[in-house]
Structure formats: C-alpha cells, structure tokens
Amino acid sequence: MRDQLYINGQWVSPDLGGYFETLDPATGEPIQRVPAATEEDIDHAVHAARQAFNRGWGQSSGAERATWLEALADELERSQDGLAALEVRDNGKPLPEAQWDIADAIGCFRYYAELARELDGRQDEALALPDARFHCRIRHEPVGVAGQIIPWNYPLLMAAWKVAPALAAGATCVLKPSELTPLTALELAGAAERIGLPAGVLNVVTGFGGEAGGPLSQHPGVDKLAFTGSVPTGAKIMSAAAADIKNISLELGGKSAFIVFDDADVDAAVEWILFGIFWNQGQVCSATSRLLVQEGIAPRLIERLVEETRRISIGPGLERGVLLGPLVSAGQYQKVMGMIEQGRQEARLLTGGKRPAHLPQGYFLEPTIFSEPADSASIWRDEIFGPVLCVKRFKSEAEALKLANDSRFGLAAAVMSADLERAARLANGLRAGIVWVNCSQPTFTQAPWGGMKQSGIGRELGRWGLDNYLEVKQVTEYR
Ligand code: NAD
C-alpha cells in the first residue's frame, strides 16, 4: 500500500500531514488512506522537477530517454494484472476494460520511447531561406517543468498520456491525479522508483483540486500546464496560466453526436452506439451521448437499442460477465441522477433511469435512454458523463449536420452510412476534433486527440502529444 507522496525520488508524508480515504465505488467503503498534498508539497515537487531538469534530464538525448521509457513500460507490464485490479477497485470499471486501459497505458510509454529516439534525428534540421547568406536550423527543446492535472475516468491511461510524451520530450513532471482515483498513479511512481528513474524527473502528488491542483496551476516554477478535466476547472486553469503566460493544453468535456442514416446496417449501428455511450459507464469525454437517427431507420433502430440496453449486465467491476460497473463516486452518482430527474421533464424516458433493484449498495445506475428532447433541453446540451443516451430524429443530411454542430462542445462525432461519399462530406462539415465513420471510439496512440470549441485547446497523442512539451527554436546564422 502506497500512502505517501512521491517527490524527488523519495516517498514523503504530506507537509501538513493530511490524508483522505479513497473509496471503492462498488461498495462506498474505504480502500486506503491517501496523502492530501498542499501548497508546500507542491512547491517541493516543482523544485525537485526543476532541479532534475537542470541536472541533466533536459539535456539528455532522446535515445537515453527512450531507454527509460521502455524500462518504465517493462516495469508496468510486470505488474499489469495487479494494476488492472487496483484500477477496478478505485474507479469501478469492469475488469476487462481496466485490463485494456493498462495495456494501452503501457503501449503509450513504448510509443513515446520511439518518438524520443526519432526526435534526435529531427534535431538541427536545416531550413531553406530565400536569402542564401542566411542559414537556419531548427531545434526542438523541452519545455521545462510540466504540471499535469488529470481526471478519474481513465486513471493510469490519462497519466500515461501526460507523462510519456513529456518525458520523451525531455521535460520533467509533477503529476496530480484525481482525488477520486489516485492509486494507480502512485503505482506509476513506484515503477519509476524501481527502475531508478533519476530523482525529480517524475513527481506524483495526490490531493484535492483546490488545495493541490490550484497551487500547481499557479506555481511560477511550472513552464507548462497540461490539464484534462471539466470545462469549469479548465477555465480556472486557463486563468491561473494567464497570470504568467504559461504554456497550456486543455482536454475538456464533450457532448458528441452519433449520426445514423437510413442506409446504415442496424446491427452494426446498435453495437457501436452501445459501445459509444455505455463503455466506462458513459464516463468518457468522447462518449457519443447525442444520437441522431434518420426517420426511416429510427423505429427499428431504437427498438433494438432499447432491447439490447436492457440486456446489459450491471454489477461490481471484478465480477465475471459484468458490462457496466458503478459510477465513480457518490458525487457523480448524484449529479447524473439529478440530470436524469430533470430529463424526465424534458424528454421521454425509454429505459433505465434508476438504481438496479439487485444492487442496493454502491453507485450503480441502469443504462438509460431518453428520446426526443427539445433542442434546448439540458440533457441534450450539457455533458452528463454517465450512462445516459439521448435520441433525436432527423430528416435530411443538412438537418443532421446542423443539429450535430449545435453544441458548445466539439470533441468527437460519429457517422454511420453505407454511402461513404456522404460520410466524408459529413466528416468534413462536423466541428469536432475527432470524427469516426462507421464506428465509434477507437483510439490510437498514433492519432491526434482533442477538441474544438469548449472541448479544449491543443491535441494529445501522436507527434502532437510530443509537441505539447517541446519549444521550437530557430538558430539563424549570417555567413
Ligand atoms: P474535474 O475538472 O472536476 O477535475 C479534473 C482534475 O482537476 C482533478 O485532478 C481535480 O482534482 C483537479 N482540479 C479540480 N479543481 C481544480 C482547481 N481549481 N485547480 C486545479 N485543479 C483542479 O474533472 P473530473 O470530474 O475529474 O473529470 C471529468 C471531466 O473530464 C469531464 O468533463 C470529461 O469530459 C473530462 N475529460 C476530458 C478528456 C479529454 O480528453 N478531452 C478525457 C477525460 C476526461
């Protein structure tokens, strides 16, 4: 059991000695105590990260850093099963989903090891200028100290999306996991310790948003703030960054549309829709929570969808065969239930909307479908971040596009149609950072991830994820 902060390569108690309990969402019972970092701890962690950056990490070669990232991936792989089980206890998700996430997190460290090596080859590339007396070369330098604040829906995977590209770029990290799911981030620190990663390169500080996240986002020693979470917190991070013009990237919420045309295959559509909204209990930023169905296919599709939704097995994530676990916390449960109650006034409830009778404890909720909400309905416009789907019918391609784009979010969207030309037209017209055609949610470490409008600023993953932690420098010489 890890119940200390990981700062400068050491396990330390929080400065003010505060702890809190992390709870198992399947029971509401405590799992273990976790340190609640405050400003002093954050300050120590940022200083440790700065020293580590200056002591050599920031000047190391990509090839050296690649070796460390591969060692970290190997070390995580050795405890893969334990990590998946711990993730289920802390977050609630079904075990096969957690296993998938942990494997993805490990893959992310391996992928950025490769990119770190390639970075050496990209250093000092010559740039042709129109005046031949000037010679320009381009350098990619690490941004410095990265403050990284992450949510609870994919605890270790979100940590990997932040830490792997930062370390690959030569930045050092202060990572603050969500107070709701801190355990696997502490295990990541444990893996860093076991492989002997130089002290201060990765620091993990657990604690609450205001007391730990706030000081991290305001710390003048942080060069780069990378945040994933809700829009309101993103706005706070952005104003904290404004004080000293910190480099920021934000991955925020979504209310993504899934458009199904009359010519789509009903079985395939039902499968992708269920995956798009009920995976991880709908607690997915890119969850396709707004379903737009063309009139002709709507009766058949909706009937099948409701039928299949009622078959979903709900229970504790460690139980065999479970497809839907509990929501992450009492707070999240109340928030989603509150939105469902409001939804009952705004739309027609087709299925779900209540606690399953056989699960009186924990934060369990039936997968829920509403139909025909008004355009202004809260359940249609606001992010629910739970297993709640809203369905609306449309007549024409133009209407579908207009409805899909009528959102303050722009993270993802999906289109299902046998007509690939139409799907391509839609994909070009959708104001979203990610568009899936004839599928929903596949996520590749190689491809850019992020949103337009209030869904965020910047992109993670792929080479764009590495660029988040690099400064580009031109060196121009007159000969
Ligand atoms: P949240 O904004 O409540 O918290 C996210 C993190 O910010 C936590 O670590 C929290 O402790 C910290 N925090 C809270 N207040 C803070 C403050 N004032 N200063 C600094 N840090 C603070 O979000 P959440 O409930 O953990 O996560 C759910 C949200 O995350 C959803 O909106 C979801 O869409 C979004 N999300 C987005 C992506 C993406 O890639 N776009 C991925 C996952 C989750």
Ligand 1 center from residue 250 Cα (angstroms): 10
Smallest CA separation from ligand 1 atom 32, residue: 230
- Residue 17's pLDDT is what? 77
For the CA of 216, the nearest atom of ligand 1? 20
Long-range contacts of the stretch 114-120 (C-beta < 8 A, 24+): 114/66, 115/165, 115/168, 115/463, 115/466, 116/62, 116/63, 116/65, 116/66, 116/69, 116/167, 116/168, 116/169, 117/62, 117/63, 117/66, 118/62, 119/62, 119/168, 119/169, 119/466, 120/61, 120/62, 120/63
Q: Is the CB of 454 under 6 A from ligand 1?
A: no
Q: Domain 257-437 carries which CATH code? A: 3.40.309.10
Ligand 1 center from residue 163 Cα (angstroms): 16
For the CA of 449, the nearest atom of ligand 1? 40
Q: What is the residue extent of each domain of the chain? A: 5-253+455-475, 257-437
Domain 5-253+455-475 superfamily per CATH: Aldehyde Dehydrogenase; Chain A, domain 1 (3.40.605.10)
Q: Is the CB of 282 under 6 A from ligand 1?
A: no
- Residue 324's pLDDT is what? 98
Q: Which residues contact 304 (CB under 8 A, 6 or more apart)?
A: 266, 267, 270
Model ipTM value: 0.97
pLDDT along the chain (479 residues), means of 10: 94 93 98 97 98 98 98 98 98 98 98 98 95 97 98 98 98 98 98 98 98 98 98 98 97 98 98 98 98 98 98 98 98 98 97 98 98 96 98 98 98 98 98 98 98 98 98 98
Q: Is the CB of 253 under 6 A from ligand 1?
A: yes
- Residue 47's pLDDT is what? 98
Report CA Rg, the chain.
23
What token pair was written down for 162? 């932040």
Q: Is the CB of 178 under 6 A from ligand 1?
A: yes
Do the domains at 5-253+455-475 and 257-437 have one common CATH topology? no
